[in-house]
Amino acid sequence: MSIYKKFAGQTLVYGLSTIFSRLFNFILTPIYTTVYAEGVYGVFTKMYSYVSLINPILAFGMETTFFRYLNKHEDRKQEVYNNSFWIISFMAVLFLITGLVFNDYFARFTLNGNISGLADQRKYVQFFVWVLFFDAISIIPFAKLRADGKPFKYSLIKFLNIGFFVGFNLLFIFIIPSLIKHQGPGAEWLSGWFRPKWIGYVFVSNLIASIVTLVMLLPQFRNLQLKFDKSLFYKMFGYSWPVLVANLSFIINENLDKILLSKYLPTNIADHEIGIYGAVCKLAIFISIFNTAFRLGAEPFFFSHAKNENAKNTYATILNYFVLALAILFVGLIANIGILKYFINSKFWIGLPAVPFLLFGYVCLGIYMNLSIWYRLSDQTRYGLYISLIGAVFTIVMNIILIPKYSYMGSAWVSMLAYFMIMVISYVLGQKHYPIPYNLKRMTGYLSVSILLVYLSFYTFKQNIFIGNGLLILFLAGIFQLEKGDIIKLLKTK
């Protein structure tokens, strides 16, 4: 079988499950933006931004390290599994104790000193401390499923996680209020504790889903041993801590803008603006889904394929078609923004001009994720740290400068520029330290044409769905003419 067919097949399984799971979750966006006011949705956005900042700290870069050391020490797979799991478990337990003990402090911090709603905020913090704990414990068992080549089982558990999350959201938002209103079974008991339109039920639903996920992963724990290899730990730590900082810096690029909006906008409009920005960010989720699906399939493939003689040419070919797919998605999403906008309530449409910038930012991020394989395979993860730190500093400084004047539009511009910058830096450094023969001219050409078509579709033709899709069809026709011969050859390559 062609290595490209094998790669595409495995990525397709992860991709379809990721797409369906995330889209299943995405149906909540129009519900949230209809049920909750902009300010309340701002609380939701802000809390998940904090969670996203903490997640990489608890993961400690161990997921990537796990894959690298399975490939590097094929005779010590059990020790790699043990070490990876116990390192994250130690971090998770330490975080859990700290979070519960200092719950009041964290609640006040996330409220920016405003004690209004402090009691609820304490509950939100408690919910998320437990969510983060359970999610951290699940990281390495999930990674082992990917390493063992079990994408279907991995995908099923992920899909069920989203199913429980969505199901309990619908229970709290629609079913329980309906039972109380129509005096259904248990109405009297439910009315005694239920709070209509309380955003905390979203966080409760997340907690339930995380617990169920961990339960479904319990069979993976049977292979664990109560052993810890110190000598191996020092090697793994040396590889993982730059990955940790790099991941944290990347998450800063992804989420800190929402937090900085709450810090640098007037208190009376901050949550409102964050709510609008958080809602339109959801419309950019489709490229984020594609990037995630690709990473799930690509990461174990890249590491396992590294020893092959033709590995670098394979990586170059994969990136070429990955960029092509991103360019098509970019044009297609903007062409249909007139439809996609109905996934959020009309009161949030004022933020739509941020969407093209957010989408192109995700395009650059996806390319960066692919390019970053050079420092992971060459054990030079410190470069990932340097690149991400540059991006994080740029994000922080530019957001502080632009937010007071341009609000969330400034954040959207900064996000795009930060991802573009780290993409370019990674390419330049990669070609110096671990050269891969990428077809830069072709990839740049596709991206340039996609940017032009997006500009025409969104700004010149004012999001006209017919003209936008006409431009998309022309783009697809041109790609077909240029690529059909190469694609046929690749599918025949052994």
| Mean local confidence (pLDDT), 146-162 | 84
Give the whole-number percent of the chain exceeding pLDDT 90. Answer: 40
**Which of 97-101, 157-161, 475-479, 484-488 is predicted least confidently?**
484-488
**Per residue in 75-101, pLDDT tens?**
788 999 999 999 999 999 999 999 999
**Per residue in 356-403, pLDDT tens?**
999 999 999 999 988 988 888 888 888 888 888 898 889 999 999 999
Burial (CB < 10 A; 0-12, 13-18, 19+), residue 231, is exposed
- Secondary structure letter of residue 172 according to DSSP: I
**pLDDT above 90 (res 126):** yes
**Per residue in 25-41, pLDDT tens?**
667 878 888 888 877 87
**Per residue in 294-323, pLDDT tens?**
877 777 777 777 777 788 888 898 899 899
Instruction: Give the helix/strand (H/E) hosting 237.
Output: helix 230-264
**76 near 312, Cβ under 8 Å?**
no
**pLDDT above 50 (res 1):** no
Question: d(Cα 355, Cα 256) in Å, to the nearest integer?
Answer: 18
**Per residue in 221-271, pLDDT tens?**
888 888 888 888 888 888 888 877 777 766 777 777 888 888 888 877 888
The answer to pTM > 0.75 is no
Helices (H), 306-380: 311-335, 337-340, 355-371, 373-377
Question: d(Cα 248, Cα 47) in Å, to the nearest integer?
Answer: 17
Calculate the average pLDDT of the chain. Answer: 86
Question: d(Cα 354, Cα 389) in Å, to the nearest integer?
Answer: 25
Read off φ and ψ for residue 2, nearest 5 degrees: -60, 140
Alpha carbon 467 to its chain's center: 31
Predicted pLDDT of residue 204: 94
| Mean local confidence (pLDDT), 200-225 | 92
- Secondary structure letter of residue 344 according to DSSP: S
* SS3 state of residue 56: helix
Token code pair at residue 329: 């998605």
Predicted pLDDT of residue 59: 86
Question: d(Cα 75, Cα 423) in Å, to the nearest integer?
Answer: 35
- Secondary structure letter of residue 36 according to DSSP: S
* Banded model confidence at residue 2, pLDDT cuts 50, 70, 90: low
